[in-house]
Structure 1
């Protein structure tokens, strides 16, 4: 490579407020020719997977990362030469020849090959990484976890019941780690930090949670013959040997599936949830939506019923601000939100993700339709950033395109409610003198009973039904 080549660092771009995001797949290797926006690697945070795109065209010169490493915004992960110093083909050939004898780059290629099959992730991809220097600290975390498990099982079925606010305040941890521990119900006062001066990292919290769950499961599994991983003082489900009944295939869950399961389980254990079921007449709304579809020109965004539901939800949250709040960690106050951000659950091949649409009150139906098309596409292609899945006022989980008559969605903390929507069907409705066919849509509102009572929920849904049944009200 000549001295005129323009060699630049490859830098991790802004990835929201996530820290130490894990690399689960490397999509390029030294010698590869890339274009702008080509994906370089895949990262996976606690919320979702995302791909890091190239900001310039050129040839990969070197990579300094491997699968399993963690990175932050601004980290340098390698170098690349841009097109200023010669043809891309010459650069690719030169770089590949020079990389044949490089053991470190060969290791990167091997790491890439070992993670190309998303359907069969390795244990190393899913497990928290621990350095050799933290082995003794991990043992301390294990002992602390056992202590926490014993205390939890003897005092309360809630995994956060024993946490002391005063002891947590004295723990040596950053705000991001404190938030992470709070969201996962981990007591920082029981965790030994492996960082400088005993500073607690997210890996320390993950190790603590893992050991605590295993400790509680072992406590009950030894008596019930159960499967490890149940936790929270709940007797484990006995393990079953399914091979006794026929051929089986064991397929490990993806990391997002496992994280979603843990988050939902935590919500189910901590929140007293109630679901209110309702029916809404969406005949006029659907008629108007079809009219918009017929009038649409080529290139116009596809307007779905979900855009109308988002606007109706905002109108109802404005009328009932208690449902646009979050309960403080100590349970002694409510945080009322003066913004209206709506989360939409999106089903992707990699698991369920919930992108958040901000300031829905300030956007038109067409704007929301266009944004939904873009966000849904990026969600399915791992292009969403972590901060695009945070800060919702309330979430909508829609099964309208699949079917069903009703369901009980689980609240996504720190939100206090979630709206479920299932497929609308034509039904006979009595209008006072005769039955007439109307398109009726089942709605399901699950709410945190610590914040919302039954009367509030009933009034909230009655108001929502008026909004979605007569979309003229959305303009008021």
Structure 2
């Protein structure tokens, strides 16, 4: 019998958990799988009764209505009647044997000898214990990370006992032991990235016999529940301590908070593994910045749903919207203390209050991230005299086509080319500060000044576009920005940013890195300056463009920044270098 996915209310959903195993006996309406979509999490009940003979899906698979989930060997009343008849027959036979026992002493002795001989033969068939290295099974993804190693060297394990907890963006999977035996070597550790087929453990098998050292699943469950409750209680106490310390004077609370909030990666992983939540819910919590260990699950066995995460955020917002909220929100957002009381005019003078624009309000949280970035700015000058001559020659031709050709188009092209040659500047630092994610294409953010404030639309795949196409897109995006017609897609995905002050004046400035990017190029107004000509031994007037490169010092060192800025300056001085 095939058990299929019912109408899910959505086009497709992801298998978050398989709640049965091959060999399990289930009845109609027993839950068999947990499916999650962007809208809801649904436990799918069985439409029949029987023994699970085959599971047709895996955690992380996408299913639709009618997808076969598993196969059952259906039980019947006839089978149970037959079983009862067999039991009755066996009972009658045992009674008869008991009556005839005295009459057949020799036969009974023979039977005991045969049973002993069979036991000896069975024991001789058991293979000898041997040590063997075992590879990881198919995880359903190309690569995953180890969240927890659930055994230690020397532990005695049963076949199918969980050894590792592996997590990817799609699913959380427990890797079972392929055999029963003793763990001799563990070849991976928590935090490692692993792939399918990778050797991960050495086990000295015990001849296929399951040991009794490992506790049963039912006996482990209360301990895990108790551990989870203790973990949540500890987290709650820690949050309470943080709240109490934040109410103390700033000079005293800041060091204390830093010490309390600092958790090791092992502690973070331990907290996360105690949480019963699917991959989609964990991803949502990360996106919202929610500590999922603080969320109470409302589903069966305290499983956390997306609705629980939203309820937690809503409750948190309501809690912080009281009388003391403005002060606490300001401290949390920027790290600055609250403003002093400015109601006394004889001290502060007359004050007018103006509301920030919507764009400014939205930008403040993003700008606050700069507090946590160790930024440095590298300055340089580019001689764009020849490039400006080229622009002047092309400007009339472009204008006839309705295209405005500014020096910014050349800057975007040169910077995109430089980023492909120096990919570290086109990257992002990982959350755990151990890797960088290098972008293979350049999505260039262009800062545009509007009446409401600064906005940064994005030119996608700038490295593959010519100066003409870049000039067209700069004009279109700038017009949309000023008319407030930019789409969300046109504002997302930047890998690097250019902030040009055009002809507003000034020499140099320090642009702020737009996290999670690691660099931003500031461009000031070009001016005519005297430059020494060594061949003619005299000064010549040259058009010099000031460049200001700010960068995240965690990813980029000063030497690399100097080389990169000088490289851009050379490309702008002679754009023909890009053709090489």
SS at match of 1:462: helix
Q: d(CA) in 2 for partners of 1:199 and 1:403?
A: 53
SS at match of 1:253: coil
TM-score of the superposed pair, with normalisation by structure 2? 0.50
Q: Equivalent residue for 2:458?
A: 356
Matches of residues 43-442 of structure 1 in structure 2 within 5 Å? 148-150=242-244, 153-156=254-257, 161=262, 165-166=268-269, 167=271, 170=275, 174=281, 177-182=284-289, 187-190=291-294, 198-201=307-310, 204=313, 207=316, 211=320, 218=327, 229-231=330-332, 234-241=336-343, 243-244=345-346, 246-266=349-369, 268-432=370-534, 433-442=537-546
Q: d(CA) in 2 for partners of 1:264 and 1:159?
A: 26
SS at match of 2:330: coil
Q: d(CA) in 2 for partners of 1:290 and 1:149?
A: 62
Unaligned runs of 5+ in 1: 1-18, 21-141, 220-227
Offset of 1:242 from its aligned partner? Answer: 7.7
Q: d(CA) in 1 for partners of 2:261 and 2:374?
A: 15
Offset of 1:235 from its aligned partner? Answer: 3.8
Structure 1 pair 379–332 and aligned structure 2 pair: CA distance change class (3 A):
same
Q: Equivalent residue for 2:126?
A: none
Offset of 1:204 from its aligned partner? Answer: 1.5
Q: d(CA) in 1 for partners of 2:548 and 2:388?
A: 19
1:460 aligns with one of 545, 564, 569: 564
Which structure's CA Rg is the greater one? 2
Q: d(CA) in 2 for partners of 1:206 and 1:303?
A: 52
Contact 1:302 1:370 (8 Å CA) reproduced: yes
Contact 1:145 1:211 (8 Å CA) reproduced: no
Q: Equivalent residue for 1:445?
A: 549
SS at match of 1:284: helix
SS at match of 1:437: strand
SS at match of 1:199: helix
Structure showing greater relative contact order (alpha-carbon pairs closer than 8 Å, 6 or more residues apart)? 1
Contact 1:409 1:418 (8 Å CA) reproduced: yes
1:307-351 Cα deviation digits (max 9, x unpaired): 111111111111111111111111111111111110111112222
Q: Give the total of aligned pairs.
A: 326
TM-score of the superposed pair, with normalisation by structure 1? 0.60
SS at match of 1:391: coil
Contact 1:145 1:209 (8 Å CA) reproduced: no
Contact 2:513 2:551 (8 Å CA) reproduced: yes
1:162-208 Cα deviation digits (max 9, x unpaired): 596434674856466345335xxx54434669996753139917955
Unaligned runs of 5+ in 2: 1-37, 40-235, 247-253, 299-303
Structure 1 pair 210–323 and aligned structure 2 pair: CA distance change class (3 A):
farther
Contact 1:398 1:420 (8 Å CA) reproduced: yes
Offset of 1:299 from its aligned partner? Answer: 3.6
Contact 1:181 1:205 (8 Å CA) reproduced: no
SS at match of 2:363: helix
Structure 1 pair 207–308 and aligned structure 2 pair: CA distance change class (3 A):
farther
Q: d(CA) in 2 for partners of 1:436 and 1:323?
A: 34
Q: d(CA) in 1 for partners of 2:259 and 2:318?
A: 14
1:61-87 Cα deviation digits (max 9, x unpaired): xxxxxxxxxxxxxxxxxxxxxxxxxxx
